[in-house]
Amino acid sequence: MKIGYFILNDRLRSHPQARDLIAQLEGAQYELYEIRNKADVQPETDLVLSMGGDGTFLSAAHVVSDIGLPILGVNFGRIGFLCENRPEEVLNALMEGDFRIEYRTVLNATLKGPGARKSIGMLPYSVNEVALHRKGPSVLGINVAIDGELLPTYWADGLIVSTTSGSTAYSLSVGGPICMPDTKVLPISPHNLNVRPIVLPETAKVDISFESRDGIAIMTTDNRTVEIEPEWTIHVEMAQFSLKRIRLASSGFVKALTSRLFWGEDMRNNG
């Protein structure tokens, strides 16, 4: 098996557990090499190890998700929903085939309008969310059309179009619903106490524009940002490919919710 590994934090390269994992995999006759960008990906690579936290996993996904390589997250961070597996769990799971591949929705976000860029950086794809939020002190008037049908204007600090993967991230923090990973939906969550989140089918096409006295706003796609103007429209739809994420048999979504977010923590549930 040929494995590329992706490390975002340079300090992690000297981490004892990271070095041990690489040595153990090489000792088990796996071929390993490091990936820093898409040009580094070698032919016949079987999978990518993302070594770090969820931010590292998202960066790895931006590099390899659209070329179909499955990603296994190895957690050296803190919470870790996408990157949930401990280093000591990886070797045996790979050797015994004790894992499966999940297919996660990816969003494709493009900007339309006079002078607008047609993509965000070199890659317009998002694994977690596409978000619009204010740059200055003024509240945004956010106009959202779903498959061409205009919703009432949101007056809010921002708005998030999430995938199910991103439903436990920023979307959750502004009151959005938790969605099981294999649910085929797109939650929209405004940062506004008076408007409830809405859940759309995965096939929906979403167009977002805004008005603001500040004259500018910020668009975020996962961990990348760009300033946008009121004359531009953000078009969001499902990408034509899915992210392949490797889930070890020892892990699970509900287990991650209870262990990382203390979901359902209640003295009545003890014992």
Active-site residue list? 54
Q: What is the largest CA-CA distance in the chain?
A: 61
Residues 6+ positions from 121 with CB-CB distance below 8 Å: 224, 226
For residue 143, count CB atoms less than 10 angstroms from its CB and return exposed for 0-12, middle for 13-18, buried for 19 or more.
middle
Q: 29, 72, 33: which is closest to 245 by C-alpha? A: 72
The residues pairing with 143 across neighbouring beta strands, listed in sequence order, are: 209
For residue 182, count CB atoms less than 10 angstroms from its CB and return exposed for 0-12, middle for 13-18, buried for 19 or more.
exposed
Q: Which helix (H) or strand (E) holds 90?
A: helix 87-96
Which 3-state string (H, E, C) describes 152-177? CCEEECEEEEECCHHHHCHHHHCCCC
Token pair in block for residue 14: 């000297």
Token pair in block for residue 260: 């990382």
Residues 6+ positions from 44 with CB-CB distance below 8 Å: 2
Token pair in block for residue 252: 């699970």
DSSP 236-269: EEE-SS-EEEEEETT--HHHHHHHHS-TT--GGG
Q: 95, 42, 45: which is closest to 70 by C-alpha? A: 45
